[in-house]
Chain A
Amino acid sequence: MRSGLQLIGAAMALSSFGTLGAKETKTSLTPQEIKGAIVLDEVALPTPGEFFAAINKLDRPNWSQLARKAGPLATTNRAQASLNLGTRVADGYIAVESQDGQQVKNVGKDIVELAKGLGVSQSILARGNSISDFAENNDWNALREELDATEGEVKHQMADQKDNELIALVTIGAWLRGVQAASTVVAANYQPESARLLRQPAIVEYLVEQIDGLPNRLKNDELVGKVRNGLIDIKAAVAPSTAPSAENVKSIQQTTSQLVDVISGPAASAK
Chain B
Amino acid sequence: MKRLFFPILALVLTASLQADLATPPATPAPAGDASDSAEAQARSAALQLAGAFSNDGYKLRDGYYFGDLDPKKSTVIEVNLFAGDEYWFCAAANDPARKIAVEVYDEEGKPVEQQYYSDGANAAAGVVAGASGKFLVKVSLVEGEKSQFCFVYAYK
Contacts and interface: CB of A to CB of B under 8 A. Distances in A.
Given A25-B111, A50-B155, A38 B85 contact: no
Interface string A52-76: 0110011000000000000000000
A38 B75 contact: yes
A18 B64 contact: no
Which of B82, B114, B120 is the most central at the interface, judged by chain A CB atoms within 10 Å of its CB? B82
Interface in B75-98: 75-85
A105 interface: no
A17 B65 CA distance: 24
B107 interface: yes
Interface residues of B, number: 64
B59 A144 contact: yes
Interface string A140-157: 010011001101100000
Contacts of B78: 37-40, 43-44, 202
Tell me the interface secondary structure of chain A in the complex: helix
- In this complex, the interface size class of chain A, counting residues with CB under 8 Å from chain B, is 35 or more
Interface string A1-35: 11100110111011001111111111111110110
B75 A10 contact: no
Given A23-B103, A29-B138, A200-B133, A54 B61 contact: no
16 contacts: A10-B10, A14-B10, A21-B116, A29-B110, A33-B74, A34-B76, A38-B75, A42-B64, A42-B65, A43-B61, A44-B77, A53-B59, A53-B82, A145-B62, A197-B83, A202-B134
Interface of A: 1-3, 6-7, 9-11, 13-14, 17-31, 33-34, 36-47, 49-51, 53-54, 57-58, 141, 144-145, 148-149, 151-152, 193, 196-197, 199-203
